């Protein structure tokens, strides 16, 4: 097995155990802004992940959600870490959250691991080697009609004051598809596209650590990931559509027709 992957899996499972330890018994909740929360579990999980990466790859750079970042002037490798994707779910003991670990080389994704400890689902992908769920190879859905497609999306933590609030898009796509789910953890939504459970997922204003690992899962399972103009996804711009490829253009067209704020 790929050494990077072995260590990423080890880290994800260790971090998942941290999350399970505090599930239903959170010691502290802080706020990053008015609506975005961070718990002691986020912080402990991230500290563990960063520590193990530094022990095994001391020259690598790290970009992590809670700010334990490491900048290397010599390495072309960057780890993108979300120690707890779905913190609001987690704070309510709603079992849809994950550890997300991605690795870039020269700004290209080469590895992704997404782990949901509640149901022990481990999603993995290595560039040009496919995507897997608990060792079983994944393939995106073959549904090619949006009327039969199950979609997912997400919203800004502050939908009341966010101009690009996604409400019109959510309403319209619900009408023209088999349904739209809002589960609250982008890494798992992307993993579900990769596994064929969903045909597509879109969202505005995500962060690099939200997208990194899940994006390579989708592409390695035969899907496609783009921005909301259909162009190459910029992790730092954060508007994303991931799909099984077959309904990608249809979803883009529907989103643009009903967008609450036109994507430039």
Q: Could you give the CA distance from residue 200 to residue 31 in angstroms, rounded to a whole number?
A: 31
- pLDDT for the residue numbered 62: 96
179: CATH: 3.40.190.80
Using a pLDDT cut of 90, give the percent of the chain over it: 80
Q: Are residues 66 and 125 in the same domain?
A: yes
d(CA 100, CA 8): 10
Domain limits for position 8: 3-137
Residues 22, 57 within the same domain: yes
Tell whether 251 is covered by a domain: yes
Q: Looking at the structure, do residues 78 and 190 belong to the same domain, yes or no?
A: no
- When divided into structural domains, the chain yields a total of 2
pLDDT at residue 73 tops 80? no
Q: What is the CA radius of gyration of the chain?
A: 17
Report if pTM > 0.85: yes
Two tokens at 120?
Answer: 């022990």
State how far the Cα of 200 lies from the Cα of 247, in Å rounded to an integer: 8
Residues 12 and 107 in one domain: yes
Same domain for 122 and 154? Answer: no
174 shares a domain with 51: no
Q: Is residue 263 part of a domain?
A: no
99-123 mean pLDDT: 97
Type and span of the H or E element at 239: none
Q: What is the pLDDT of residues 227-257, one digit of tens each?
A: 999 999 999 999 999 999 999 999 999 998 8
Asked if residue 264 has pLDDT above 50, the reply is no
């Amino acid at each position: 097995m790929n050494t990077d992957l072995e260590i990423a899996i080890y880290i994800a499972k260790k971090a998942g155990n941290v999350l399970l330890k505090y599930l239903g018994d959170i010691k502290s909740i802080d706020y990053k802004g008015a609506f975005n929360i961070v718990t002691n579990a986020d912080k402990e999980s991230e500290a563990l992940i960063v520590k193990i990466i530094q022990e095994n790859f001391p020259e690598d750079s790290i970009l992590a959600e809670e700010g334990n970042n490491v900048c290397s002037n010599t390495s072309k490798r960057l780890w993108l870490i979300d120690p707890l994707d779905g913190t609001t779910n987690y704070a309510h003991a709603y079992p849809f959250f994950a550890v997300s670990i991605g690795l870039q080389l020269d700004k290209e994704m080469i590895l992704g691991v997404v782990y949901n400890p509640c149901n022990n689902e481990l999603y993995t992908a290595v560039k040009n080697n496919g995507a897997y769920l608990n060792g079983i190879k994944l393939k995106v859905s073959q549904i090619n009609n949006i009327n039969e497609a199950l979609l997912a999306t997400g919203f800004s933590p502050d939908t009341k004051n966010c101009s690009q609030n996604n409400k019109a898009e959510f309403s319209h796509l619900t009408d023209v598809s088999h349904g739209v789910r809002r589960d609250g953890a982008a890494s798992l939504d992307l993993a579900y596209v990769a596994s064929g459970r969903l045909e597509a997922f879109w969202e505005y204003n995500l962060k690099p650590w939200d997208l990194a690992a899940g994006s390579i899962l989708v592409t390695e399972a035969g899907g496609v990931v783009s921005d909301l103009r259909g162009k190459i996804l910029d992790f730092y711009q954060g508007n994303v559509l991931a799909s099984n490829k077959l309904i990608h253009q249809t979803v883009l067209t529907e989103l643009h027709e009903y967008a609450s704020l036109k994507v430039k």
